[in-house]
A and B are shown apart, each in its own frame.
Chain A
Amino acid sequence: MNLNQQPHMASPYAPPQPGYQMYPQPGYGAPHPTQQYAPYNGHTSLYQQGAPPAGYSPYSGFATKTYAANVLSDSFSSSPPNLGQGRAPPVSGAPPVSASDSYSQYAQGNVQNGPPSVPSQPQRPPVSQSYAPATVHPGTQPTYHQPYEAPTTSVQQITGHMAGMHIGGPAPNLAGSTYAPPPSSQPMSSAAFTSTGPPNYTPQLASASQPPSSMSMTPGPPPSMYGAPPTSQPSFPGAPTPPQSAFAGVTPAAPPVSQQSFPTGAPMSQPHYSSVPTSSSQPSMGGPVLQQPPFGAVPPASAQSQFPGAAQPPVSQPSPYHSVPPAAAAGFPPPGGATVTAPPRHPGMQGPPFANQSMSAPPASQPNHTGAGMPPGPPIGGVQGPPPQPGLQGFHPQQNGAFGQMRPPQSGYAAPYPGQQNFGIQPPPPAAAPPAQKRLDPDSIPSPQASETQPVQKTRHRIDPDAIPSPIQVIEDDKANKGSEPFITGVRGQVPPLVTTTFQVKDQGNASPRFIRCTAYNMPCTSDMAKQSQVPLAAIIKPLATLPPDEGPLHLVDHGEGGPIRCNRCKAYMCPYMQFIEGGRRFQCSFCSCVTDVPPHYFQHLDHTGRRVDCYERPELHLGSYEFLATVDYCKNNKLPQPPAFIFLIDVSYNAVKSGLVAVVCEELKTLLDHLPRESVDEESRIRVGFVTYNKVLHFYNVKSSLAQPQMMVVSDVSEMFVPLLDGFLVSVGESRVVINSLLDQIPEIFADTRETETVFGPVVQAGLEALKAADCAGKLFIFHSSLPIAEAPGKLKNREDKKLVGTDKEKSLFQPQVSFYGNLAKECVAQGCCVDIFLFPNQFVDVTTLSVVACSTGGSVYKYSHFQAQTDRDRFLNDLRRDVQKPMGFDAVMRVRTSTGIRATDFFGSFYMSNTTDVELAGLDSDKTVTVEFRHDDKLSEDTGAFMQCAVLYTSCSGQRRLRVHNLSVSCCTQLADLYRNCETDAVISYFAKHAYRTVLSSPTKNVRDVLVNQCAQILACYRKNCASPSSAGQLILPECMKLLPVYLNCVLKSDVLQPSAELSLDDRAYLRQLVSCMDVAESHVFFYPRLLPLQKLDVEGDALPVAMRDSEERLSRAGLYLLENGLNLFLWVGSAIPQDLLHNVFGTASFSQIDPNMTSLPVLDNPFSKRIREIIESIRAQRSRYMKLMVVKQDDRLEILFKRFLVEDKNSSGGASYVDFLCHMHKEIRQLLS
């Protein structure tokens, strides 16, 4: 770690703390200053250019390999490694493999291919992502094919890698089967390279024109490679060396490595390169050439890095490029041209990728990929891009710059050239020097093993943050590659686009990723494999997720009086996986293999393929998600349910009245009640409503329509709660409108002079529960609560906040409820179908831990508005409330997940209650709630049939209809670890890890929890390294493409407020976050842990695209910039102190920085395009999140900034959280320990 640590980073963080108290909602803030602005900006701009280019799906693929690449060569400095791999670039292309070897030799090169980009998005991505992906996909695959091919490609690559590695065998097969190309590639690989190199190419080839590619690739690249490498190497040395001086040994080594790698791997890789390389590595090649010049100067490196990015593309397009490449090599432009024509993207991609690759570890990465089974990377294949990053840090930095540029290039294939040019340009900006230094560090990284001290000593030698896998890169690559084509769910085991990518889904038999996302789409066949890999097997299910309008609502199927057709044994519901046999008279369950008779009314003949003739007329036979109409057998007490009810329980104690809460709620309810959820067929909602206010006692209201005025019924005996009235408490809004309005008008008046400060809480929930019991219906309680319930009543709490316990073994007690009362109450609520939503408005400790128990067990939500003041927090609260009231939801739900024999759902996370081990009981289930299910093997799975899971949710709709929603998902099963690593989703893994860890804090000290997380992560990566990556020096960090972001994200989890709180953070805030995370979906958890940082100063006011996000680091922020940061809960607008006058004027309407009001919660409405656009962006971001985010304006160097910096998660933070670079080093060390 130390190695990585960059002093700069650290220093900035230190100060943060003070800030918190200031903020009403301390929750999250963590400021990170970003340093390198320039590059980004560049990127951005570049991007824009590049963006258009297109899909870089390949990137991810690249990424994977990238690491490898990175890993490999110090010289190449695989992207991640930033460490030493500088050289990689040259190598990158093909060399990777070889590179890796070489690296290994160099040992030092712990090259960290950081680029976990595989599936995920390497930050560096720019390089890797853009390149590899772009090229590959675009070129090769038509929409449809892409998926397939892509995979195949990946497979092939994998295989190739495999081959190179050890795995080779199976993968190839797959590949082979799928693609003709593979063979060719394989040969290549196998023959030429044991290592990855080939595969990548192959894939590319496969996708594109293999022969040509291979052909061209081989020839071209090698030369270039070689030629380039050397060059590059030299350059690297130059750059790195200085830094390395510290590492001295290392550096030197690196260069050699790279060179060596080239030589060794080179052959292998080169061939690839020749084929692919040209494109990918070649780009490097070609790029190299070009780049080389750059290399000479660090900047060039960056340029190259870009290339690497391009390189990948090359992969896919290699062939075209190849041809071109040469030319390109000479002059990028040509490639560009080429790219454009053939696989535009590719070219672009290639160019950059290569650059990257070449730069960083491309070589390494590639090799890795190849060897490693960069598999994931089919797309990735090309991906090695990431490696590029690794590409000596120096490069990275450059790359960063490059990346920015890179992308642009990517976008415009032609761009590549430009990109290159850019690079050229950028290089300068990169401030070559710094990067270079960083690169040096990389070198040092390898040494981590040796000693941590070194790093310190060699402070100068920093790992270049730009060289390590960049989330932004991965995200952007994925967008480019997968965003344009609909995601067809028909194919088993394919990894869906990232959550950050906007895409359309076509349901062809598997549930949309909007409903279910898995951590792994290729499940290990055996538990041994699963255990070995340590990759969690989990599905993150959002059963009632809202679908975009163009995907339409789910079909409702009615099987008549008998109810849905189900398997006799396991009770699985009819789904596309059921096999009809005996002419359609019976069907065999795909989950348990039991044969069941088809009821006569459901009988249908089979066609010649064995499918039912009516297959496409029945949603349950060809869709992944659909609903059944449930019969009375599925209802409580065998009685059709009543329409549900909403009960509003409003705290009217002194605090609540004074803060304006009561008035705000009452006013809002008047209009909000018109928007209760309803079925589209209904005129008005059938949900009934009831009202209760309370302080120390409860007030129920009779609002029966026949009354002239509402009646208030006070229940002061709170020790045993009961509902004082039956008739008139729950009413239809339409009928009782007048009385309700009268009531809502009066409530604020009645309590305007209250002096009651004490409140109760337990009885409030009981009251709602009893009311629902009395009405015999399910429903939801909305509790608006202000303070710790200290009044004498059941569920009375005391203030127990004790900061001294933080960090001790007793800390866990803080996360446990202080009384068991609420747990028991929650059980009763669940039994009745009473969902509880809690809105908290505390001015001090309210014990969220204890209060939220009820919400967390009933499928409810908790909202917290600390120090609520009507004028400032009104919008946030009301928007949340509106959304909460209006969102579609089901009541009294039971969810059951059935799986193929062989695996079993063993653990569940989320807001629900379980009275047995299989049924997830949700008193309420809304469209935002997610349930995470962990699977364990209890037998073997079959590779042939894959694994199936069926998630069935029985619930009562808002109109009182009982329904069953069924989601089916099939995933592949694998016997090769490489397949597993190639088909997993880092975001989902992180989401699972976070939920698991957040639950474990209940029973273990947070330190242990963190250690376990780090350890498991290290094991995952070590397993990959050991089993899937091509053999290489132990000093190399090789990351699977799909998981290259695992370290950075994991680090975010580790230093999240729950696991590592800052001193100012209140217990309530931590508890609040803890329960929030438990039911987040992948998209939410992703942005929560890795906030989105958008630069606004160079906004394109015309278009409607969001600016490309930046990495969360303070050093990337420009003093002259304006940035928007959001994590789903908080929204900051950071204003640099040197913000240009016109910007200041356009946005804030003020003349000077000092005149900006830090308390504003919305931007002034100014009539200029810039202001408009910014406000639009803010609105659109808010619209994306399930909770409304209050805007906080943070001025640079203002007190608030400390809060803000906590969100710059790549930086070190005040409470001891490591910076990304440091953590990566640490991770690398862990892995090495595991390996040795």
Chain B
Amino acid sequence: MATFQEFIQQNEDRDGVRFSWNVWPSSRLEATRMVVPVAVLFTPLKERPDLPPIQYEPVLCSRATCRAVLNPLCQVDYRAKLWACNFCYQRNQFPPTYAGISEMNQPAELLPQFSTIEYVVQRGPQMPLIFLYVVDTCMEDDDLQALKESLQMSLSLLPPTALVGLITFGRMIQVHELGCEGISKSYVFRGTKDLSAKQLQDMLGLTKPAGTQAGRGPQVPQAPPSNRFLQPVQRIDMNLTDLLGELQRDPWPVTQGKRPLRSLGVALSIAVGLLECTFPNTGARIMTFIGGPATQGPGMVVGDELKSPIRSWHDIEKDNAKFMKKATKHYEALANRASANGHIIDIYACALDQTGLLEMKCCANHTGGYMVMADSFNTSLFKQTFQRVFNKDVQGSFKMAFAGTLEIKTSRELKVSGAIGPCVSLNAKGPCVSENEIGTGGTCQWKICGLDQNSTLALYFEVVNQHNAPIPQGGRGAVQFVTQYQHSSGQRRIRVTTIARNWADAQTQIQSIAASFDQEASAILMARLAVYRAETEEGPDVLRWLDRQLIRLFMFHLRRSPFLQVFNNSPDESSYYRHHFMRQDLTQSLIMIQPILYAYSFNGPPEPVLLDSSSILPDRILLMDTFFQILIYHGETVAQWRKAGYQEMPEYENFRHLLQAPVDDAQEILHSRFPMPRYIDTEHGGSQARFLLSKVNPSQTHNNMYAWGQESGAPILTDDVSLQVFMDHLKKLAVSSAA
């Protein structure tokens, strides 16, 4: 067997799992002592181009409380055509279609390499994808123009059968009826009054869907259901393009000193309601584009008086944010309604000021929607990010999936405590549900309305095996992840991942357990836990909790990260950062916590350097990737050279190459990342250099005089402790606590 490193990597590639421990302590007591729980970062839809979906449905364990899927870990009696469930030990008959089964003729799900396998459900109608655009019209004309173009462009990216709908809002909310001839028609609602789904249904005339066209009768299961507001792209392509083209900036006058009235809260409510009563339990995306905060009606986050600024962390701490609670409640209710029906809410917020992401975060967080924050719709950040939403895989289908549910089955010794990630609980009790909740717990099923190949959940387990009931040597614990989702082709699919790990007695085999420790996964898992708590608890408390937990070097950066520190970040930014942290996979999460710093110089090939102020040298170009930002920093000397225009001179072509190298690398990162990072090109002394300076370890400050004036590095003017100090303190702490 290879090293644990390889094993871990292999597992991640194949199954999309990263366990904090790859050998599990065999008793609860020992597990608790290890501080870092047995947990896993699971990427349900890990991209597997090599995995062909199987065109039949999985075989389930017949025990009603188990219903585990047949997997390679099951013992099979080929003669009797029986198989034993490896979770509940129930013996099951193979279904008739498996009559031909034999050791030589095994179905795919029994092959070890198919520990992850994907089934296609044949039953049921193929549901079209649904995209409902919710567009703010209170924005500057050029912003609106850019947005309109992006939206029009997006139409061309949609499959022709996809249903699209359009809701625009400003002071009023307009639900546009599509496909009208000769006249464009929309239903208008005022932005100050929330409507229940029932009311909305009445008002939109959806009570009798067949009313005008199909005649009587209940909803006929014929054809893909559509209605006046959601219609196939192929049918109303031109119509919608024109409609978008004619979109006007909200015409209601905005007097001086006021914000435009923006009825975001009700607009979202209507969008949710519309889908709720037309396409429940069908994958759908509500794509919300906002150019500012909601200023009226339910869900408003700030009044329309410009003189009263939107809440800051300071206000929140002082309990001075009068709209926040109500707004949060409103959006949470919406998020719950949407997630209950499998609908995704995306938020694309483009404004210089805050737009209320703090209040709305749950919409994206609970439904697996995207949250994108940019300064303007007229930036490449938004345009490309939005375009990337519709990226397709090699088979030509969207990388997004809809209305997923994740179910977990565990061996008896293990129970699941909870999940942290873009999901909501389905409140499914079962034998494998732990009483200790971590994150969203109390269930073995979660709903993940929107997921893509990077969506990653952190799942926390609890070892329940008692110390006095040892597990026999070589015993293995198993976990099965069953992910049902709606593929972008409209098919329902089920992906099953079954993994097993060895049990080990912590007293005798502590080495092997320690060796199986996955530092990175653990860090992220703990970080998620910390962020989750940060969302609900006071910031300092979380830090203290974190400090008390096992701490490793890299927690230093976590403590300084925007995920836990709100200083210098607006509430919206914090929400934004946390949102992405909670759903990205391990690699990305790592970058978020500890940005990567590359140095380019004439001294050699690009090399990663310490995220430390000492890395900032005059003759270097630095490339920093913080996930949210890509920053190219030109050292003092390099900047001067550049200013002098050396790169233009043929004899300094090497300098031109040097300048170009980080830009190329940055482009590469930009291309692959979602959402698009903010791209910053700066230099020594530039204002934007602050992004870099705030990230590096302040090993040299105005306080430690010994470093002052040295050749290398740049001093950072901060009172924050440097890693050195932190480590010193930490060591002291570790010793004292051990004592």
A window 695-710: CB within 8 A of B: 697, 699-700, 707-710
B window 185-202: CB within 8 A of A: 185-190, 193, 195, 199, 202
Of A276-284, A712-720, A952-960, the stretch lying at the interface with chain B is A712-720
Give chain B residues whose Cβ lies under 8 Å from the Cβ of A714: 177, 185-188
> Which single member of B188, B211, B242 contacts A715 (CB below 8 Å)?
B188
B251–A711 CB distance below 8 A: no
B252–A697 CB distance below 8 A: no
In the assembled complex, the CB of A170 is this many whole angstroms from the nearest CB of chain B, namely 68
Is residue A51 within 8 Å, beta carbon to beta carbon, of the partner chain? no
Q: With A716-B204, A717-B193, A722-B190 as known contacts, state yes or no: A727 contacts B183, CB within 8 Å.
A: no
Give chain B residues whose Cβ lies under 8 Å from the Cβ of A722: 172, 190
Residue in chain B with minimal CB distance to A726: B251
Q: With A697-B203, A709-B184, A712-B185 as known contacts, state yes or no: A725 contacts B251, CB within 8 Å.
A: yes
> What sequence of 0s and 1s flags, for each residue 688-715 of chain B, a beta carbon within 8 Å of any chain A beta carbon?
0000000000000000000000000000
In the assembled complex, the CB of B400 is this many whole angstroms from the nearest CB of chain A, namely 32
A window 604-646: CB within 8 A of B: none
Is residue B248 within 8 Å, beta carbon to beta carbon, of the partner chain? yes
Q: With A697-B203, A720-B193, A727-B251 as known contacts, state yes or no: A713 contacts B186, CB within 8 Å.
A: yes
> What sequence of 0s and 1s flags, for each residue 157-196 of chain B, a beta carbon within 8 Å of any chain A beta carbon?
0000000000000001010010010111111111001010
Q: With A697-B203, A700-B188, A714-B186 as known contacts, state yes or no: A724 contacts B193, CB within 8 Å.
A: no
Q: How far is B193's CA from A750's CA once the two chains are assembled, in angstroms? A: 29
Residue in chain B with minimal CB distance to A718: B203
Residue in chain B with minimal CB distance to A792: B202
Residue in chain B with minimal CB distance to A745: B182
B186–A742 CB distance below 8 A: no
Is residue A1008 within 8 Å, beta carbon to beta carbon, of the partner chain? no
Q: With A707-B246, A717-B189 as known contacts, state yes or no: A712 contacts B183, CB within 8 Å.
A: yes
Residue in chain B with minimal CB distance to A713: B188
* Total A-B Cβ pairs within 8 A: 71
A713–B182 CB distance below 8 A: no
Give chain A residues whose Cβ lies under 8 Å from the Cβ of B97: none
Is residue B507 within 8 Å, beta carbon to beta carbon, of the partner chain? no
Give chain A residues whose Cβ lies under 8 Å from the Cβ of B180: 712
A711–B190 CB distance below 8 A: no
> Which single member of B182, B184, B188, B211 contacts A724 (CB below 8 Å)?
B188
Residue in chain B with minimal CB distance to A698: B188
B window 338-375: CB within 8 A of A: none
Q: How far is B182's CA from A727's CA once the two chains are assembled, in angstroms? A: 20
Residue in chain A with minimal CB distance to B213: A753
Q: How far is B246's CA from A699's CA once the two chains are assembled, in angstroms? A: 19
Give chain A residues whose Cβ lies under 8 Å from the Cβ of B205: 697, 716
Residue in chain A with minimal CB distance to B180: A712
> Which single member of A711, A717, A725, A728 contacts B185 (CB below 8 Å)?
A711
In the assembled complex, the CB of A666 is this many whole angstroms from the nearest CB of chain B, namely 13
B203–A716 CB distance below 8 A: yes
Give chain B residues whose Cβ lies under 8 Å from the Cβ of A699: 185
B window 208-254: CB within 8 A of A: 211-212, 242, 246, 248, 251-253
A746–B251 CB distance below 8 A: no
Give chain A residues whose Cβ lies under 8 Å from the Cβ of B248: 727
A716–B183 CB distance below 8 A: no
Give chain A residues whose Cβ lies under 8 Å from the Cβ of B187: 713-716
B203–A717 CB distance below 8 A: yes
B182–A709 CB distance below 8 A: yes
User: How big is the A interface, by class?
Assistant: 20 to 34
Is residue A743 within 8 Å, beta carbon to beta carbon, of the partner chain? yes
Q: With A715-B189, A717-B190, A724-B174 as known contacts, state yes or no: A710 contacts B183, CB within 8 Å.
A: yes
Q: How far is B205's CA from A716's CA once the two chains are assembled, in angstroms? A: 9
In the assembled complex, the CB of A627 is this many whole angstroms from the nearest CB of chain B, namely 34
Q: How far is B252's CA from A713's CA once the two chains are assembled, in angstroms? A: 15
In the assembled complex, the CB of A192 is this many whole angstroms from the nearest CB of chain B, namely 85
A709–B189 CB distance below 8 A: no
Give chain A residues whose Cβ lies under 8 Å from the Cβ of B183: 709-712, 742-743, 746, 750
In the assembled complex, the CB of A688 is this many whole angstroms from the nearest CB of chain B, namely 15
Tally of B interface residues using CB under 8 Å: 28
In the assembled complex, the CB of B171 is this many whole angstroms from the nearest CB of chain A, namely 9
Q: How far is B189's CA from A755's CA once the two chains are assembled, in angstroms? A: 23
Give chain A residues whose Cβ lies under 8 Å from the Cβ of B242: 708
> What sequence of 0s and 1s flags, for each residue 740-753 of chain A, a beta carbon within 8 Å of any chain B beta carbon?
00110010001001
In the assembled complex, the CB of A121 is this many whole angstroms from the nearest CB of chain B, namely 58
Give chain B residues whose Cβ lies under 8 Å from the Cβ of A727: 248, 251
> Which single member of B202, B212, B253 contacts A716 (CB below 8 Å)?
B202
Give chain A residues whose Cβ lies under 8 Å from the Cβ of B190: 717, 720, 722
B184–A717 CB distance below 8 A: no
In the assembled complex, the CB of A746 is this many whole angstroms from the nearest CB of chain B, namely 5
Q: How far is B183's CA from A713's CA once the two chains are assembled, in angstroms? A: 10
A713–B195 CB distance below 8 A: no
Q: How far is B202's CA from A742's CA once the two chains are assembled, in angstroms? A: 29
Give chain A residues whose Cβ lies under 8 Å from the Cβ of B193: 717, 720
Give chain B residues whose Cβ lies under 8 Å from the Cβ of A700: 188
A724–B172 CB distance below 8 A: yes
Give chain A residues whose Cβ lies under 8 Å from the Cβ of B212: 753
A717–B195 CB distance below 8 A: yes
A window 218-247: CB within 8 A of B: none
Give chain B residues whose Cβ lies under 8 Å from the Cβ of A750: 183
Q: How far is B152's CA from A76's CA once the two chains are assembled, in angstroms? A: 98
> What sequence of 0s and 1s flags, for each residue 16-38 of chain B, a beta carbon within 8 Å of any chain A beta carbon?
00000000000000000000000
A window 1043-1068: CB within 8 A of B: none
Q: How far is B174's CA from A753's CA once the two chains are assembled, in angstroms? A: 24
Q: How far is B191's CA from A722's CA once the two chains are assembled, in angstroms? A: 10
Q: How far is B142's CA from A493's CA once the two chains are assembled, in angstroms? A: 72
Give chain B residues whose Cβ lies under 8 Å from the Cβ of A743: 183
Give chain A residues whose Cβ lies under 8 Å from the Cβ of B186: 711-714
In the assembled complex, the CB of B616 is this many whole angstroms from the nearest CB of chain A, namely 54
Q: How far is B186's CA from A728's CA once the two chains are assembled, in angstroms? A: 15
B174–A713 CB distance below 8 A: yes
Residue in chain A with minimal CB distance to B199: A717
Give chain B residues whose Cβ lies under 8 Å from the Cβ of A716: 187, 189, 202-205
Q: How far is B187's CA from A817's CA once the two chains are assembled, in angstroms? A: 32
Most buried by A among B186, B193, B205: B186
In the assembled complex, the CB of A215 is this many whole angstroms from the nearest CB of chain B, namely 86
Most buried by B among A725, A743, A750: A725
Give chain A residues whose Cβ lies under 8 Å from the Cβ of B246: 707-708, 711
In the assembled complex, the CB of B483 is this many whole angstroms from the nearest CB of chain A, namely 40
Q: How far is B184's CA from A700's CA once the two chains are assembled, in angstroms? A: 11
Give chain A residues whose Cβ lies under 8 Å from the Cβ of B185: 699, 711-714
Q: How far is B180's CA from A743's CA once the two chains are assembled, in angstroms? A: 13
In the assembled complex, the CB of B228 is this many whole angstroms from the nearest CB of chain A, namely 11
Give chain A residues whose Cβ lies under 8 Å from the Cβ of B172: 722, 724-725
> What sequence of 0s and 1s flags, for each residue 749-766 of chain A, a beta carbon within 8 Å of any chain B beta carbon?
010010100000000000
Give chain A residues whose Cβ lies under 8 Å from the Cβ of B182: 709, 742, 746
Residue in chain A with minimal CB distance to B203: A716
Residue in chain A with minimal CB distance to B184: A711
Q: How far is B715's CA from A648's CA once the two chains are assembled, in angstroms? A: 74
Give chain B residues whose Cβ lies under 8 Å from the Cβ of A715: 187-189
Seed contacts A710-B184, A717-B193, A742-B182; 13 additional CB < 8 Å A-B pairs:
A707-B246, A709-B184, A711-B186, A711-B246, A712-B180, A712-B183, A714-B187, A716-B203, A720-B190, A724-B174, A724-B188, A725-B251, A746-B183
On A, residues with C-beta under 8 Å from B are 697, 699-700, 707-717, 720, 722, 724-728, 742-743, 746, 750, 753, 755
User: Can you report 27 A-B residue pairs in the complex whose CB atoms are below 8 A from each other?
Assistant: A700-B188, A708-B242, A709-B184, A711-B183, A711-B246, A712-B183, A713-B185, A713-B187, A713-B188, A714-B185, A714-B187, A715-B188, A715-B189, A716-B203, A716-B205, A717-B189, A717-B190, A717-B199, A720-B193, A722-B190, A724-B174, A725-B251, A726-B253, A743-B183, A746-B182, A746-B183, A750-B183
7 tightest Cβ-Cβ pairs between the two chains A and B: A716-B203, A724-B188, A727-B251, A712-B185, A714-B187, A713-B188, A711-B184
